[in-house]
Copies of this chain bind each other. A is one copy, B any other.
Amino acid sequence: MATIAEVAARAGVGAGTVSRVLNHSPKVSETTRARVQAAIAELGYRPNPLAQGLSRGRCRTLGVVVPYFTTPSPVERLRGVAAALDGAQHDLVIFNVESVAHRDDFLGTLDRRDRADGLLMMSFPPPPTDLSRIVAAGVPVVLVDAVAEGVSSVVVDDVAGGRLATEHLLELGHERIAFIGGDPDEPLGFTSADDRELGFRQAMADAGVEIDESLVRYGTHAREVAVAIAKDLLRQDAPPTAVFATADVQALGVIEAVRSLGRHVPADLSVIGFDDIELSAYVGLTTVRQPLFESGQLATRLLLEALAGDTTPAVHVHELPLEVVVRTTTGPRPPGAGPT
């Protein structure tokens, strides 16, 4: 592999000049530039990224810290990241988080420009001390689906989303509405499900409909868990006529449970989810759509901007719109469905 020194020798110039040509410095005469470029071409020279990184203090790498990066929502977001990164001069490094230990490992070491030029953190609230250490170290950070003092973020209004979902069910005449939230023991502390619950409660209160707390459940995103919850819900004396699950993967589990009991969606149970993952369109799940792809794309753009400009862009919370996508899993409350 040719080095800058060899190129310089061949072109009969100093290494500095080659570097200037490489970095499009305007202060190089046309003739030398041509000569250097010829030498570069002849030698098939490409700069060593490690050396550039060491010298410049950056490493042309974008890190994405993301829990369970192969699950549907993160994947959609990463699709957006990849799209925004296309053509940009940065490699995409994935820091997959599956436990608090993972998270702390990564966050503990990413507070320097030699590991990643910029960081995207997705769907988990970074511990404030880690975050501020990283920011203080001069590593630009953009949060997706989380907010924190001093860093830009891309979010949706989960409370409003919870309200939207609930209102949709209320409008269809449902009153015995079950709610399935996130795992309360989730170690990474995701908050969006809680916010959606808040929206659920607000909408119910606004509609003057009392919540039957026995219909409020929580569970992980494992399909079996949602299946079990739904079965239990349906076996009650007074089963719900509708369910709001705070994640599509849970909603899909609910549908599976309904079918396995020989019941039908939405005739016996209306189901609305949240996210609008790819699978949902296929299955016909009614859901609150959040722009997952766009969130990754926008966040990446913000990060690239922060990297490009020498002036740090203003900290801003970008809110993406939410929208109820009505498909086939929600319908009017069945006429004889118990006392209101």
Residues of A whose CB lies within 8 Å of any CB of B are 1, 46, 48-51, 53-54, 59, 61, 69-70, 75-76, 78-79, 82, 86, 91-96, 98, 102, 109, 112, 114-115, 137, 223, 252, 256, 279, 282
Contacts and interface: CB of A to CB of B under 8 A. Distances in A.
Contacts of A76: 70
18 contacts: A46-B112, A49-B114, A50-B50, A50-B53, A61-B93, A69-B78, A69-B82, A70-B78, A86-B96, A86-B102, A91-B93, A91-B95, A92-B94, A92-B95, A92-B96, A93-B94, A252-B282, A279-B279
Given A70-B75, A114-B50, A279-B279, A93 B96 contact: no
Given A86-B98, A92-B96, 20 more contacts: A1-B112, A46-B109, A48-B54, A48-B114, A49-B114, A50-B50, A50-B53, A50-B59, A69-B78, A69-B82, A70-B75, A70-B78, A70-B79, A82-B96, A91-B93, A92-B95, A93-B93, A94-B94, A223-B282, A252-B282
Contacts of A95: 91-92
Please give the count of copies of this chain that the complex contains: 2
A328 to B, nearest CB: 11
A297 to B, nearest CB: 12
A265 to B, nearest CB: 14
A266 B49 CA distance: 55
A10 to B, nearest CB: 19
A109 B89 CA distance: 13
Contacts of A93: 61, 91-94
